[in-house]
């Protein structure tokens, strides 16, 4: 065995390699996204996932081996979810006077998002595991994956569906709002944030500060609303 | 900073404990987030050090989804079988949600015009 082979055997069994690979792939993807002017179709998470899976295919590592290294990044999802309380509180203070309208709209949006997705998927023949991975697709990724786990779905499939949802909402949502005659910036921001979480919010912030603030608030409140409502409804209908 | 990270971790820990103890269907970290949110409401402001700790955790939030997202490689056959219902459902459901939420907020928001000035 050459010393290069020996080095590779050492490296590929060390968790540090897959941790570093994750960080490298993400930073490369961020650079690409920045080059595109943060176009919604150039999503850094999606690109990172494709790059890492390609590397794992080449090196022949399985997911369990990859996760031994990547778990250190994954672990921070829980604390980051808790930390979402801080931006949620900041935006909440700014818009608390229209709270009743906001809550009614977001709760309606939350139920619409899950119900239409599950009904369409069911009608087109998706199986139960797929449907439970699809149901929280409008919720911000860390919370959506937690909800999917509760429903018995596949969190990694949810992560992909959440990202695709974000891309569709961010790129086509404004056109749909134009067509529906929704012009008020608070309503536009709230709609984009409820349907397409952080990816939509990033887009809304580029358009207007008001839309961005409402979108960020909608993302946070929709996560809470869906986490409270969806598992309960799910148990009621499918339990 | 360390104290605030400890606070964030403690909120999650309490959330997870409550979920396990009472058999709730809410994700533990979401309960932790609500706990911290209520704490901020009671206090009436965000301590600067908590803001810094939260911003630090959230500044690269999308990086944290990558390890779980790579797990989709285990479900390639499911994706190849179910891509049609998934794409149709995600596409139309997202646009319907945008329109329903925006339309309702615009209708309800008209009754409280003062709030939209902010």
Q: What is the pLDDT of residues B65-106, one digit of tens each?
A: 899 889 989 988 898 999 999 999 999 999 999 999 999 999
Contact state of B108 with A104 under an 8 Å Cβ cutoff: yes
CA distance B21 to chain A (A): 15
**pLDDT computed for residue A15 by the predictor:** 92
**Residue ranges of chain A with pLDDT lower than 70?**
1
For residue B117, pLDDT over 50 is answered with no
Instruction: Identify all chain B residues contacting A84, using CB atoms and an 8 Å cutoff.
Output: 33, 54, 58
Residue of A90, A138, A160 lying closest to B97 (CB–CB): A138
Cα dihedral sign, B25-A79-A197-A73: negative
Tell me if chain A has a CB within 8 Å of the CB of B50.
yes
- Rounded to whole angstroms, the Cα distance separating A50 from A57 reads 11
In angstroms, the separation between the Cα of residue B99 and the nearest Cα of chain A is: 6
Query: Would you say residue B111 has pLDDT above 70?
Result: no
- What's the CA gap between A132 and A161, in Å, rounded? 12
Residue B7 has a pLDDT of 97
A238 close to B (CB below 8 A): no
pLDDT score, position B22: 93
* A89–B46 C-beta distance less than 8 A: yes
Q: What pLDDT does residue B67 have?
A: 92
Write down the pLDDT at residue A120: 97
pLDDT confidence of residue B17:
96
Q: How many whole angstroms from its chain centre is CA A202?
A: 12
pTM: 0.85
The secondary structure of B12-81, three-state, reads HHHHHHHHHHHCCCCCHHHHHHHHHHHHHHHHCCCCHHHHHHHHHHHCCHHHHHHHHHHHHHHHHHHHHH
Looking at chain B, which residue has its C-alpha nearest residue A147?
Answer: B27
How far apart, in whole angstroms, are the C-alpha atoms of residue A9 and residue A235? Answer: 47
Q: For B64, which of A74, A146, A195 is closest by C-beta distance? A: A74
Query: Which of A116, A145, A188 is nearest residue B97 as measured by Cβ atoms?
Result: A116
Element (H, E) at A199: helix A185-207
**Which of A112, A62, A191, A90 is CA-nearest to residue B92?**
A112
Average pLDDT value for residue range B29-48 = 93
- Taking each helix axis from N to C end, the angle separating A44-59 and A63-74, rounded to the nearest 10 degrees, works out to 140
pLDDT, tens only, B3-32: 999 999 999 999 999 999 998 878 889 899
pLDDT-based confidence at residue B112 (cuts at 50, 70, 90) = low
B57, B91, B104: residue with CB nearest A108: B104
- Smallest CA–CA separation between B2 and chain A, in Å? 13
Q: What contacts B92, CB < 8 A, 6 or more positions away?
A: A116, A120
User: What is residue A1's predicted lDDT score, i.e. its pLDDT?
Assistant: 61
User: Is pLDDT at B115 greater than 50 in this prediction?
Assistant: no
Residue B114: pLDDT band with limits 50, 70, 90: very low
Distances (CA, A) of A119 to A94, A115, A238, B97, B107: 36, 6, 13, 14, 27
Is B109–A101 a contact, with Cβ atoms under 8 angstroms apart?
A: yes
**Mean pLDDT for chain A overall:** 91
Q: What is the pLDDT of residue B24?
A: 82
Q: Are A235 and B25 in contact (CB under 8 A)?
A: yes
Are B66 and A154 a contacting pair at CB < 8 A?
no
Q: Tens digit of pLDDT for each residue in A90-119?
A: 888 878 888 999 999 999 999 999 999 999
Whole-angstrom distance, CA of residue A157 vs CA of residue B79: 8
């Amino acid at each position: 065995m050459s010393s290069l082979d020996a080095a590779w055997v050492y490296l590929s069994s060390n968790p540090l390699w897959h941790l570093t690979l994750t960080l490298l792939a993400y930073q490369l993807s961020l650079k690409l996204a920045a080059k595109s002017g943060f176009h919604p179709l150039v999503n850094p998470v999606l690109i990172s996932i494709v790059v890492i899976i390609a590397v794992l295919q080449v090196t022949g590592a399985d997911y369990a081996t990859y996760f031994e290294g990547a778990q250190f990044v994954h672990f921070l999802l829980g604390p980051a979810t808790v930390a979402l309380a801080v931006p949620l509180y900041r935006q909440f203070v700014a818009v608390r006077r229209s709270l009743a309208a906001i809550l009614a709209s977001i709760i309606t949006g939350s139920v619409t998002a899950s119900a239409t997705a599950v009904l369409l998927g069911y009608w087109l023949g998706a199986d139960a595991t797929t449907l439970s991975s699809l149901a929280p697709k409008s919720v911000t990724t860390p919370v959506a994956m937690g909800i999917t786990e509760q429903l018995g779905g596949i969190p990694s499939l949810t992560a992909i569906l959440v990202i695709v949802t974000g891309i569709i909402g961010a790129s086509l949502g404004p056109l749909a709002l134009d067509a529906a005659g929704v012009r008020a910036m608070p309503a536009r921001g709230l709609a984009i944030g409820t349907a397409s979480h952080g990816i939509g919010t990033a887009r809304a912030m580029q358009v207007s500060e008001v839309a961005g603030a409402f979108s960020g608030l909608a993302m946070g409140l929709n996560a809470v609303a869906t986490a409270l409502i969806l598992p309960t409804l799910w148990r009621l209908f499918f339990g | 900073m360390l104290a605030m990270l400890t606070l964030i971790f403690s909120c999650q820990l309490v959330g997870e404990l409550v979920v396990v103890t009472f058999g709730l269907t809410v994700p533990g970290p979401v309960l932790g987030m609500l706990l911290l949110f209520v704490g901020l409401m009671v206090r009436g402001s965000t301590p600067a050090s908590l803001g810094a700790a939260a911003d630090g955790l959230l500044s690269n939030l999308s990086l944290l989804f990558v390890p779980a997202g790579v797990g989709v490689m285990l479900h390639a056959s499911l994706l190849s079988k179910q891509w049609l219902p998934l794409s149709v459902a995600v596409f139309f459901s997202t646009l319907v949600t945008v329109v329903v939420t925006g339309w309702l907020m615009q209708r309800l928001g008209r009754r409280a015009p003062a709030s939209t000035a902010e």
